[in-house]
Amino acid sequence: MNIHEYQAKELLSKYGVAVPMGKVASHEDEAEYIAKDLNVEKFVVKAQIHAGGRGKGGGVKVANSLEEVKRLASEILGMILVTHQTGPEGKLVTKVLVEEASNIATELYLGMVIDRATENIVIMASQEGGMEIEEVARTNPEKILKEHVDPTVGLLPYQCRKIAYFLGLKGKTVNKAVKLILGLYKAFTDNDCSLAEINPLIITNEGEVYALDAKMNFDDNALFRHPDVEKMHDPNEEDPTELEAKKWGISYVKLDGSIGCLVNGAGLAMSTMDIIKHHGAEPANFLDVGGGATAEQVLQALKMILSDPNVKAIFVNIFGGIMKCDTIAEGIITAAKEVGIEVPLIVRLEGTNVELGRKLLSESGLNIITGKDMGEAAAKAVEAAK
């Protein structure tokens, strides 16, 4: 799960991470009121969407007066902000963060992620702040320091000093950075984060160290331990079909291809996408109805697939274990009657009650293409989508 910058900053400041003063607003008057309360001379108005690159996209603006804060807030609120992370369709801005503008001397980078290979948390730091770190990693990997933290020992102060020196810090700013890095690490581990990124981490002209931007991702499987984090979830940021899928207990991820997939089990769903690619086409979605889906869930899943106008064929790939093939067949037949399936439907069934499932389908009068195995069925699906 992702949260907004303003939420990440609120959370991080509880851990002693220094952030600029500021508050979130959803109306221009509220933005002006917050600015007045900040009692500073220069402000920044920042669009709150779950995507980076807002600065370049025109979603981060400096204001020199309360009137300007109000005007910029009214411009940014309601805009469709397009950045390299939103895709060309962009994202509607419904909230802005109004904060004091910092006098930036240096922009640095600080990030933490879980490194599966070493089973550690790895801290990344670079003097190339404010830029895309992926780009730095590609062109100048030596400009990124990677410091591994053994989770059983925890992050030690000497490691933070090493990071601070690598960032070129001196004197009092070293201690301030150490405090910030320790705070970020504690926030990361306490809340089961999978990623925390401060880009840029800044040093101000006055020698303060601030997290000027903040991005945090949380492990969905650990959210039950953090109801306060879960409350920060913003449904506006999610694909509506993916939200609908969650309601029905279905894992659905929309993709860009033309072949809709309905599969049971995440592993089979992945290999179904692979085999579609292998035969030269692209999947329109990942969809796992789960191990013990009901006919109702199958119906809902088919509706979701059909709601995507890019879908040119549907490939149902089911291995009946706990899930019975006749349940799938029933779901398909009901869906066909209820919503009408106008694109070719390719079905591969195997496993529990497969004979009964096949019989139901063949007696349904539906125009269904079958395959004797996964490879053949996938090839037929790709052919049918053309």
- Binding to Mg ion by CB under 5 A, coded x per residue (else -) over 204-243, reads ---------x------------------------------
Output 199 or 353, the one with its CB closest to Mg ion.
199
Token reading at 326: 């006749």
Count of alpha carbons within 13 angstroms of residue 146, beta-carbon side: 12
Per residue in 151-168, is it b (16+ CB within 10 Å) or e — as a string? eeeebeeebbbebbebbe
Output 125 or 328, the one with its CB closest to Mg ion.
125
Instruction: Count the residues of the shown chain that bind ligand ADP, applying the rule CB under 6 A.
Output: 18
Q: Which of residues 24-53 bind ligand ADP (CB under 6 A)?
A: 44, 46, 52-53
Q: Is residue 212 within the footprint of ligand ADP (CB under 6 A)?
A: yes
- Residue 20 touches which member of ligand ADP, Mg ion, none, C-beta under 5-8 Å by kind: ligand ADP
Q: Which of residues 73-112 bind ligand ADP (CB under 6 A)?
A: 99, 101-102, 104, 107
Q: How far apart are CA 255 and CA 45, in angstroms?
A: 33
Q: How far apart are CA 294 and CA 301, in angstroms?
A: 11
- Residue 351 touches which member of Mg ion, ligand ADP, none, C-beta under 5-8 Å by kind: none
Among 7, 106, 199, 317, which residue sits at the site for Mg ion (rule: CB under 5 A)?
Answer: 199
Per residue in 192-230, is it b (16+ CB within 10 Å) or e — as a string? bbbebbbbbbbbbeeebbbbbbbbbbbeeeeeeebeebe
Q: Which of residues 125-154 bind ligand ADP (CB under 6 A)?
A: 130
Q: How far apart are CA 107 and CA 65, in angstroms?
A: 25
- Residues classed as catalytic: 109, 197
Least separation in angstroms between residue 56's CB and ligand ADP is 6
Peptide bond into 283 cis (omega under 30): no
Nearest to 18 by CA among 154, 168, 177, 163: 177
Least separation in angstroms between residue 60's CB and ligand ADP is 4
User: What residue ranges bind ligand ADP (CB under 6 A)?
Assistant: 20, 44, 46, 52-55, 60, 99, 101-102, 104, 107, 130, 199-200, 212-213
